[in-house]
Amino acid sequence: MKKSLSQLLTVLLLVGLVACKSTDSNDKVNNKRIMYIPENITNEVINQLKDSLGENAAFRIERGVQQVAGLWQESDGATNDFIDFCKSNFVADSTELFTLYSKLERNTEIFFGYFHKMDVLLKEPLQLMGPDATPIDMMFGSYDVSAHLNDDLYKNKVAFITALNFPYYSLKEKTELGEKWSRKEWAYARMGDRFTARIPADIQQNISKTLTEADAYISDYNIYMGNLLTDDAKTLFQKDLKLITHWGLRDELKSDYADVENGLAKQRMIYSVMKRIIDQSIPQEVINSDKYTWNPQTNKLYDNGNEVTANPEPDKRYKVLLANYNALKNSDVYYPNNSTYLLRAFEEGMEIPQADVKMLFEKFVSSPQVKEVAALIEKSLGRKLEPFDIWYNGFKGRGGISEDQLTAITTAKYPDEKAVKADLPNILVKLGWKPEKAKQISSLIEVDASRGAGHAWGAAMRNDVAHLRTRIGEKGMDYKGYNIAVHEFGHCVEQTQTMNDVDYYMLNGVPNTAFTEAVAFIFQNRDLELLGVKQPNLADKYNEVLDAFWGCYEIMGVSLVDMQVWEWMYANPNANPAELKSAIISIATDVWNKYYSDVLGGKDEPLLAIYSHMIDNPLYLSNYPIGHLISFQVEQQVEGKNLAEEFERMYLQGRIIPQIWMKNAVGKPIDIEPLLKATEEAILKLK
């Protein structure tokens, strides 16, 4: 499941969403930045500092003075003030530089930690089960408590001192230099990432508001499955089954492979619902409401058996996405290094170039193994594959236990949040953590009943708590909720250890969110073992490989669509929601026709556009397939070893760049070849 919205906002803050007054002369004019400090003055200061301090500090002087010049505005002082500031505040001595770093790091943790804690509390009415959220809850929940922090840090010159003394390195530079850096040098480099752009507070506040509203829209997008009708007016799902899109619908579709009697009919019905959501022909009367019954195939709506007029959702799905784009695009002009959100998402957020990500995905979904695995699925199902078989779940063994039986186990074991919380140390011990460490980690993780599908929300300072959130029904946690909870617990363990056990605060966390997805997948893959019901057999290993392969095949296509959608929005900045809807459907069908229709049928199929993350979590989707690839390589690394020990060896590297992290962890960069090779072996063995 997704990481929390607030974590996205934190990443945006870390890569430079910082505030300033919108009236300053460095603001955008005709979408261009105006430099207040002339280039000749900048060069003069650089030369004077070099003359006095020598060539040993030359690089830091050049980079630092240029950074400050790029951020300085008329309100910060005149040209002479800039000159005096740089000469007075550049720190050449290494001992004094570390003292400065330590003080900046300490206070950064205080600010980030307590602002984050406030954000968690303000968003609780929107994200946790309880009374319906009210407009005032949305006002507080979408308020960015840190929006003016960096405005103040520029005013009191803390931001300038940081930028002057800790250079910003591009991804290319980090890649070329980082393997030889010490831990301290990496921490200095991350401090250099702290102030790279200067964003007006009103733009920052609007980003927070817009993303929070998008998250709330998706969190309340539920379909009452017991109200769905077949053509002969029958229902296929239990009356009280309420599923969030797309996660709940997808997971139900997956579980229906085990339903011999009605499974295929249920899957086709869910498939129809998904397509209605994508093209926005879904009646808005059936969204998060059980007042009416609905035939998703014919799109007819009924009130007590009488057909009534259905009003389609008025392209709100695409209005929400467009609002995200516009909010983020408004900050582009203030970034001197990566001038679009699309660039920043990969160069600064993921820290893997988009071209490299796209190449990996296209090579994978074009691989010959796709049709070979599809042939195995087709043989298992005894029918031609249909588009929704992109979510085929048959490689996941449950030891012959149905989902209903698993739900009986999980609801008895976890009747409420307290029961889940109490069991967390036991889960960690089963996975290889020592009892004392398991208890320590679990003490810093809270369990909450989620209004949405579920997410993990880590702390932003040491000794604060992470939040594990999943759906828990009145009867207890069903198997779907449990499966999600184990995934989210993986996130929380990563978040807790990489916050509290990493040596420098500026290195806390992981290289990007794909790495936390990787550990979440590793936990999730062991969910049945943790229940004590999985019965290993010879084919398990190979089936797990094929499951990982098919999962990558699915989500890589979705990610390719997501990237192309953002490319389209940047090429068409004045598009309206209807035009965006048309473009997304066109992009999704093009990707489908190129990589999926020969395998799963359904020419001009829009199904890849169903993912909710495309709407509420901008450009997050690529983290999932990268996470799968990382997870697979890490799984190979930990095989036969103690998981906890290997986890700590790898993950306590913290937030260095991805490819160096991977080389240190598993000896190789992120690659598709290990999974493709293992898939080919699994196909041969299972044949």
pLDDT at 33: 59
Q: Rounded distance, CA 466 to CA 447, Å?
A: 9
pLDDT at 604: 95
Pull the structure tokens for residue 157. Answer: 């010159």
Q: What angle do CA 626, 346, 678 make, to 5 degrees?
A: 15
Overall average pLDDT of the 586-615 stretch: 97
pLDDT single digits (tens) 132-178: 888 898 888 888 888 788 889 999 999 999 999 999 999 999 999 99
Q: Rounded distance, CA 562 to CA 560, Å?
A: 5
For residues 123 and 212, the answer to whether their CB atoms sit within 8 Å is: yes
pLDDT single digits (tens) 543-593: 989 999 999 999 999 999 999 999 999 999 999 999 999 999 999 999 999
Q: Rounded distance, CA 222 to CA 220, Å?
A: 6
pLDDT at 450: 83
Pull the structure tokens for residue 161. Answer: 């001192």
Closest listed residue to residue 288, CA positions, set 337, 235, 245: 245
Q: What angle do CA 193, 194, 196 make, to 5 degrees?
A: 70
What pTM was computed for the model? 0.82
Overall average pLDDT of the 265-284 stretch: 98
* Of the listed ranges 32-36, 141-145, 379-383, the one predicted with least confidence: 32-36
Enumerate residues 6+ apart whose C-beta is below 8 A from 394: 257, 377, 380, 381
pLDDT at 376: 95
pLDDT at 521: 87
pLDDT at 13: 46
Neighbours of 428 (CB within 10 A): 24
Overall average pLDDT of the 632-636 stretch: 91
- Rounded (10°) CA dihedral 477, 267, 397, 513: -70
Closest listed residue to residue 211, CA positions, set 10, 15, 352, 508: 10
Overall average pLDDT of the 612-636 stretch: 92
Q: How confident is the model at residue 453 (pLDDT cuts 50, 70, 90)?
A: low
pLDDT single digits (tens) 237-263: 999 899 999 999 999 999 999 899 999
Residue 2 has pLDDT above 50, yes or no: no
Residue 30 has pLDDT above 80, yes or no: no
Residue 397 has pLDDT above 70, yes or no: no
What is the three-class DSSP state of 124? Answer: helix
pLDDT at 19: 34
Q: Rounded distance, CA 651 to CA 516, Å?
A: 9
pLDDT single digits (tens) 329-373: 999 999 988 999 999 999 999 999 999 999 999 999 999 999 999
Phi, psi angles (nearest 5°) of residue 193: -75, -10
Q: How confident is the model at residue 400 (pLDDT cuts 50, 70, 90)?
A: low
Residue 512 has pLDDT above 80, yes or no: yes
pLDDT at 356: 96
387 DSSP 8-state letter: G
Q: How confident is the model at residue 25 (pLDDT cuts 50, 70, 90)?
A: very low
pLDDT single digits (tens) 478-499: 998 899 999 999 999 999 999 9
pLDDT single digits (tens) 587-596: 999 999 999 9
Phi, psi angles (nearest 5°) of residue 448: -130, 145
Give the CB-side neighbour count of residue 433, counting CA atoms within 13 A: 21
Q: Rounded distance, CA 244 to CA 246, Å?
A: 6
Pull the structure tokens for residue 470. Answer: 């999943």
pLDDT at 687: 78
Radius of gyration of the chain (CA): 26
Query: What is the DSSP annotation of 317-353?
Result: HHHHHHHHHHHHHTTGGG-SS--SHHHHIIIIII-S-
What is the three-class DSSP state of 74? Answer: helix
Q: How confident is the model at residue 12 (pLDDT cuts 50, 70, 90)?
A: very low
pLDDT at 147: 75
Q: Rounded distance, CA 481 to CA 489, Å?
A: 12
Pull the structure tokens for residue 309. Answer: 């007029």
Q: Rounded distance, CA 613 to CA 513, Å?
A: 14
Q: What are the sequence ranges of the domains in the chain? A: 5-199, 221-279+281-314, 352-395+535-621+656-686, 403-504
Pull the structure tokens for residue 27. Answer: 């603001």
Sheet holding 466-470, edge to edge: 445-449, 466-470, 454-457
Query: What is the DSSP annotation of 418-477?
Result: HHHHHHHHHHHHHTT--HHHHHHHHHTEEEEEBSSSEEEE--SSTTPPEEEEE--BTTB-
Question: Is the backbone peptide bond immediately before 246 cis, with ω within 30 degrees of 0?
Answer: yes
Pull the structure tokens for residue 210. Answer: 């817009």
In residues, how long is the chain?
Answer: 687
Q: Rounded distance, CA 580 to CA 315, Å?
A: 9
Q: Rounded distance, CA 316 to CA 214, Å?
A: 10
For residues 627 and 600, the answer to whether their CB atoms sit within 8 Å is: no
pLDDT at 6: 45
Q: How confident is the model at residue 206 (pLDDT cuts 50, 70, 90)?
A: very high
pLDDT single digits (tens) 47-78: 999 999 988 899 999 999 999 999 999 999 99
Burial 600-620 (b: 16+ CB within 10 A, else e): bebeebbbbbbbbbbbbbbbb
> For a pLDDT cut of 70, what percent of the chain falls above it?
94
Neighbours of 145 (CB within 10 A): 16
pLDDT single digits (tens) 642-686: 999 999 999 999 999 999 999 999 999 999 999 999 999 999 998
Burial 494-505 (b: 16+ CB within 10 A, else e): bbbbbbbbbebb
Residue 14 has pLDDT above 50, yes or no: no
